[in-house]
Amino acid sequence: MAFDFIIVGGGSAGCVLAARLSENPDVKVLLLEAGGRDRHPFYHLPAGFAKMTKGIGSWGWQTVPQRHMNGMVIRYTQAKVIGGGSSINAQIYTRGHPLDYEEWRQLGCAGWGYEDVLPYFRKAEDNDTHDNRWHGKGGPLGVSQPRAPLPICEAYFAAAAELGIPRNHDLTGETPDGVGYYQLTQRNARRSSASVAYLGMARARANLTVRTGAQVARIVVEKGRAVGVELAGGVVERAAEAVILSSGAIGSPRMLMLSGIGPAEHLQSVGVPVVLDHPGVGSDLQDHLDLFVIAECTGPHTYDRYARPLWSAVAGVQYLLTKRGPVASSLFETGGFWYAEDGARSPDIQFHLGLGSGIEAGVAAMPQGGVTLNSAYLRPRSRGTVRLASADPAAAPLIDPNYWADPHDREMSIRGLKIAREIIAGQALKPYVLAERLPGPQVRTDQDYFDYACRHSKTDHHPAGTCRMGGDAGAVVDPRLRFNGVERLRVVDASVMPRVVSSNTNAATIMIAEKAADMIRADHGA
């Protein structure tokens, strides 16, 4: 079967593109996902997120030792399932600040200002609460209020107010400043992943073929034009119109380099024949580093007890009967945005309140139950890389976020953690919090904070920028997401962000794909 478009990567962006491009019955679309299907219940139950960073649906990759963090190696969860990050994340629906997109426009990304992208955010949404200038109803993506908040969440809001941080009832509205409940990519107390939201309505189309477990070995380039892909085993599928790479900020540059497209010196060093020397591929990696406070609670105020088998069974019954309780919770549905740097143009710290302890891999659990408050500096200046370890497509890539290469990032991250500690120590949380356990009272100086972070920190799972968009010669793709140097090749995912947005990245990735689908249809007459 001949295809018009081949999409490599069935994550958030790939699912959107497959659904939108196949709306035209005359266009034949092939979606290839190296991971598996999303059949397991954990992919659909909101609280299934707690299992995701611990191996389910993940490739099991990690960073290289971080040279500015005492050689720390950080687990780097990358999805291994249809729907990508949207199938395994905490379902937090945030878009970034309007000024993020104005910055994109100022960096040469014409057509990507806030007023340009807002219609695509609204187009994607089926919001259960808001229908106004900032939100939409009737789109594929379920966006909902949390079903299972706990009283400790309200105490968190009150504790933040003690520091002058206001309550915000719509963190994706006109401004994200303040604390509040996040809206979630859920519908009817089930995860609304891109696979469910977009492919669910498109799979039955005769012109759309979806293959999981399909490992692509390389993009086939002939005479400077992408003409198809070679799968593991040597089978070649050809694309009449375009090959679209949507494998994420780690997977997309990795696939380009495996195809001989990237920094020539690096490709030669690992034995990959050079098709096109492009130094920008795999460069400019940006990510949010997450630091956290963990406190022991005075009683069963969070969901920790439900990790035990008996309580887990109780939670399951509660969910089946009421669609509420811990199974209906993303466990990180409360948070907000505030300021670390004086004079920052918009909030530069994001908080996620975890309704438990030990929720994510590598994070300590409290024996008597606890609460977690994550903080992340949102506009890092440090830039890292994605590189190949070898020419073997099965080999894990070398992921180097290069955290804290710029000392400013370290300073702002520590300021954010200090604010998080102040919130946890607030009077409003005294009935719920017995004592802070991490970082603990022994952490007082900036050196103490640095040493703590080098033992207790993690990625916020927001990699971006490795195939950055721009109008300059060093950009990997142009503002229409066409690859600079190879015809009929596009990149559509978080890797094209010239600056990582000041929030979680999934909603912005879906927006990018919605906008890209319109551009692709216009450019190809499809």
Catalytic residue IDs: 462
- Compute the C-alpha angle 250/467/200, nearest 5°: 60
Is 473 exposed, middle or buried, given 0-12, 13-18 or 19+ CB atoms closer than 10 A? exposed
Torsion of CA 46, 187, 319, 93, to 10 degrees: 30
**Cβ atoms of residues 377 and 409 within 8 Å:** yes
Q: Evaluate the omega torsion of the peptide bond into residue 439 and state whether it is cis, within 30 degrees of 0.
A: yes
Dump the DSSP string for 89-133. S--EE----HHHHHHHHHTT-TT-SHHHHHHHHHHHEEESS--SS
The sign of the torsion formed by the CA atoms of 394, 290, 435, 183 equals negative
Instruction: In whole angstroms, give the CA distance from residue 92 to residue 84.
Output: 15
Q: Is 235 left (phi over 0), alpha (psi -120 to 50) or beta?
A: beta
Provide CB contacts within 8 A for 164, sequence distance 6+: none
**Cβ atoms of residues 108 and 71 within 8 Å:** no
- Compute the C-alpha angle 465/186/150, nearest 5°: 105
Q: How many residues does the chain have?
A: 526
**Cβ atoms of residues 57 and 80 within 8 Å:** yes
The sign of the torsion formed by the CA atoms of 152, 158, 164, 170 equals positive
Provide CB contacts within 8 A for 125, sequence distance 6+: 135, 136, 137, 139, 141, 143
Going by C-alpha positions, the residue among 2, 4, 13 that lies closest to residue 514 is 13
Residue 502, token pair as written in the block: 């000041």
Provide CB contacts within 8 A for 32, sequence distance 6+: 6, 7, 8, 9, 10, 211, 214, 216, 229, 231, 237
